[in-house]
Amino acid sequence: MGLTPEMLPMIVSSNLAKGAIAMARRKVVVKRLNAIQNFGAMDVLCTDKTGTLTQDRIILEHHLDVNGSKDNHVLHLAWLNSFHQSGMKNLMDQAVIRFGQGQPGVEALGRYSKVDELPFDFIRRRLSIVVQDEQQRQLLICKGAVEEMLEIATHVRVGQEVLVLDGGSPCRFAGFGVPV
């Protein structure tokens, strides 16, 4: 049987607050007090402050269809979306644009012009771009959280074929390390 003083939670909280004040004097922002305790209990901390290991950028290596096969159409859609979005381009957008430069077929995407944009928001959890080609054919391209995209998707393109997306399809993504 152990005894815990009634004031222990208050003592711990006040010590953590005192630690946060001391860290604030050293220009450290503490958002959660228990982070101080977690940080103190850490044995190993690995960082890449200089970007030497990560190069401070994302590198696109594969552009795959739903079956895990290389698909240039996927790259073209991703490139159009990343290139035409008007908001601040994140590291993923920069990687797609950088990878697309010099890839076969990407230079032909210049025939598309932007018609409209629905910027990313945290309710929809996706960003949508509408582009059109010189024949005025419009194309809506969305990117966003996998869960949200699978929830609204009704069809999937596999090669040149468009198939109905059934309820069991998201399970196929699990093998690629994609959260579903």
Q: pLDDT of 124-176, one tens digit each?
A: 889 999 999 999 999 999 998 888 888 888 988 888 888 888 765 555 555 55
Residues with Cβ < 8 Å from 176, sequence gap 6 or more?
64, 68
Does residue 127 lie in a domain region? yes
Catalytic residues: 48
Long-range own/partner contacts, residues 73-82 (CB < 8 A, 24 or more apart) = 73/157, 75/99, 75/100, 75/103, 75/106, 76/100, 76/105, 76/106, 76/109, 77/141, 78/143, 79/106, 79/109, 80/109, 80/112, 80/129, 80/131, 80/139, 80/141, 81/127, 81/129, 81/141, 81/142, 81/143
**21 and 86, same domain (yes or no):** no
Helices 33-40 and 8-25: angle between axes, nearest 10 degrees:
90
> In the numeric block, which tokens belong to residue 54?
């990560």
Does residue 50 lie in a domain region? no
**82 and 140, same domain (yes or no):** yes
Does residue 84 lie in a domain region? yes
**111 and 172, same domain (yes or no):** yes
Evaluate if residue 97 carries a pLDDT over 50: yes
Rounded Cα distance between 168 and 83, Å, is 32
**79 and 146, same domain (yes or no):** yes
Evaluate if residue 79 carries a pLDDT over 90: yes
Q: pLDDT of 28-60, one tens digit each?
A: 888 888 887 787 788 877 776 666 667 777 888
**79 and 165, same domain (yes or no):** yes
**29 and 79, same domain (yes or no):** no
**155 and 104, same domain (yes or no):** yes
CATH number at 102 reads: 3.40.1110.10
**20 and 107, same domain (yes or no):** no
Q: What mean pLDDT do residues 13-18 have?
A: 86
Q: Which amino acid is at 55?
A: Q
User: With a threshold of 0.75, does the pTM exceed it?
Assistant: no
**83 and 26, same domain (yes or no):** no
pLDDT of residue 114: 97
Residue 30 is part of which domain span? 8-40
Structural domains of the chain, count: 2
**146 and 95, same domain (yes or no):** yes
**172 and 107, same domain (yes or no):** yes
**27 and 109, same domain (yes or no):** no
